[in-house]
């Protein structure tokens, strides 16, 4: 078996390490920070352990689910089969699968939604039918989803309350910056493929606990080196000779670079990331002196806040704003004031409760912005160097740069390493449709 070094302890690096370690390779993973998980992790904030932002998955995220299975933590994901939409004033609508088979499984609950009128619902149904019909259209990576929706005469309120509400939350970018191909994938896999693909999973423990699993010992052959930033990657005769990390030089047979694209420049690896930009996500943590909600989670319409999650008995809630471009330069106090004002529009109890403390996490570099024309520029796992492979949500995975995409990239890199050793092995699970 081979010696493999993995650079970066985000989901991509962890997935590669888990797959290779289970296959018998000896893996050493180097992570600059004192914890694993990258942008999907948790840390201590005073007396609380908080996630940097609430991360969710859907049943269609088959590789992320497989990764949790490898770590033995799949039972720590709590699943929900309802999407709850709340309008200002508190009116609630619920979308859930009914008795009909996919792709008609939402028909009953969809037509009962209160936040769209009948003509808007018919327009959305026509749009969903067009997605099934045009899934192989050749220009979907060259146009934005906003353009496609206008082309298909979607009403402005349907765009704002349905298409945008779902897609910005799923992909973390605005519709006029998102290639239609990625938006199609969300609806095709999550909403049209099978009856349960849309079901939403939320970790029941802090994210960091998912990766600090005893499974690493059971997998065997994987060593984690934290607080060990990579300082140099030495290239010689078309291959990596060694890396310098944690103050020491290290050698291996193969290397998996799972670092964010913006951190590659110092290593002169000749990997072209020109035009790659980020989309931000903001998490707002609020602790009240009394419960302000009595449900697990919901999406909020017509405001800056998109999602609310009940983290502890309705007294501690986490709010999520994806594609939070407008909040990045906003002072922390203003972000909290905005959140409190918007919450009061939905929940009178939030306006009456006393805020005990608050925490704002702005992930400025949360995800790769999935802009038109970018997909063909995303690099594959193999590089020009015979023993160096790439992983990362920004690489070419066939998915947007979300957690499923990150795990897919790690599995693809692990497959490339296996091929190079002469013992090919498949780790990537195919999409559900």
- Give the least confident one: 53-67, 78-92, 215-229, 332-346: 215-229
Instruction: Tell me if 431 is assigned to some domain.
Output: no
Residues 363 and 399 in one domain: no
* Per-residue confidence (pLDDT) for residue 17, from 0 to 100: 97
Domains held by the chain: number: 3
Alpha-carbon distance of 294 to 314, in angstroms, equals 6
In the predicted model, what is the mean pLDDT of residues 81-105?
Answer: 96
Which residue range forms the structural domain that includes residue 210? 3-45+206-275+372-421
Q: What is the tens place of the pLDDT at every residue in 106-146?
A: 999 999 999 999 999 999 999 999 999 998 899 999 999 99
User: Given pLDDT bands bounded at 50, 70 and 90, which one contains residue 53?
Assistant: confident
What percent of the chain shows pLDDT beyond 90? 90
The candidate with the shortest Cα–Cα distance to 6, out of 198, 190, 156, 224, is: 224
Residue that terminates a domain, selected from 128, 161, 194: 194
Residues 322 and 337 in one domain: yes
Residues 262 and 384 in one domain: yes
User: Higher pLDDT residue, 193 or 45?
Assistant: 193
Question: How confident is the prediction for the chain on average, in pLDDT?
Answer: 95
Report the 3 state secondary structure along 204-234: CCCHHHHHCCCHHHHHCCEEEECCCCEEEEE
What percent of the chain shows pLDDT beyond 70? 100
Residues 115 and 225 in one domain: no
* Per-residue confidence (pLDDT) for residue 42, from 0 to 100: 86
| Entry pTM | 0.96
Instruction: Tell me if 7 is assigned to some domain.
Output: yes
């Amino acid at each position: 078996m081979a010696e493999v070094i993995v650079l970066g302890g985000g989901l991509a690096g962890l997935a590669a390490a888990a797959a290779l370690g289970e296959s018998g390779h000896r893996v050493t993973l180097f992570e600059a920070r004192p914890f694993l998980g990258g942008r999907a992790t948790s840390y201590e904030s005073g007396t609380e352990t908080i996630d940097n932002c609430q991360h969710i998955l859907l049943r269609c995220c088959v590789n992320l689910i497989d990764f949790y299975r490898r770590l033995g933590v799949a039972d720590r994901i709590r699943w929900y089969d309802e999407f709850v939409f709340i309008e200002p004033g508190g009116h609630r609508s619920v979308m859930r699968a009914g008795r009909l088979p996919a792709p008609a499984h939402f028909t009953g609950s969809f037509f009962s939604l209160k936040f769209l009128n009948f003509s808007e619902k018919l327009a959305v149904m026509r749009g969903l039918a067009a997605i099934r019909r045009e899934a192989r259209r050749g220009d979907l990576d060259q146009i934005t989803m906003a353009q496609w929706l206008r082309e298909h005469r979607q009403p402005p309120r349907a765009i704002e309350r349905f298409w945008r509400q779902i897609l910005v939350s799923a992909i973390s970018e605005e519709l006029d910056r998102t290639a239609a191909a990625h938006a199609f994938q969300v609806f095709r896999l999550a909403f049209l493929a099978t009856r349960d693909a849309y079901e939403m999973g939320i970790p029941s423990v802090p994210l960091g606990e998912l990766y600090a699993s005893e499974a690493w010992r059971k997998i065997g052959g994987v060593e984690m080196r934290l607080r060990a930033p990579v300082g140099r990657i030495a290239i010689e005769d078309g291959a990596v000779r060694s890396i310098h990390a944690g103050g020491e030089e290290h050698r291996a047979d193969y290397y998996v670079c799972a670092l964010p694209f913006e951190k590659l420049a110092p290593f002169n690896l000749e990997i072209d990331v020109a035009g790659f930009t980020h989309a931000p996500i903001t998490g707002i943590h609020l602790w009240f002196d009394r419960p302000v909600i009595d449900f697990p989670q919901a999406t909020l319409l017509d405001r800056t806040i998109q999602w609310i999650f009940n983290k502890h008995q309705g007294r501690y809630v986490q709010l999520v704003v994806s594609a939070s471009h407008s909040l990045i330069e906003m002072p922390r106090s203003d972000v909290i004031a905005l959140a409190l004002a918007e919450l009061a529009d939905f929940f009178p109890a939030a306006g009456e409760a006393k805020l005990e403390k608050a925490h704002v996490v702005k992930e400025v570099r949360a995800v790769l912005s999935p802009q038109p024309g970018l997909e063909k520029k995303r690099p594959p796992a193999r590089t020009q160097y015979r023993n160096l492979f790439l992983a990362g949500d920004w690489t070419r995975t066939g998915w947007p740069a979300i957690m499923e995409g990150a795990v897919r990239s790690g599995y693809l890199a692990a497959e490339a390493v296996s091929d190079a050793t002469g013992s090919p092995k498949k780790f990537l699970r195919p999409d559900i449709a």
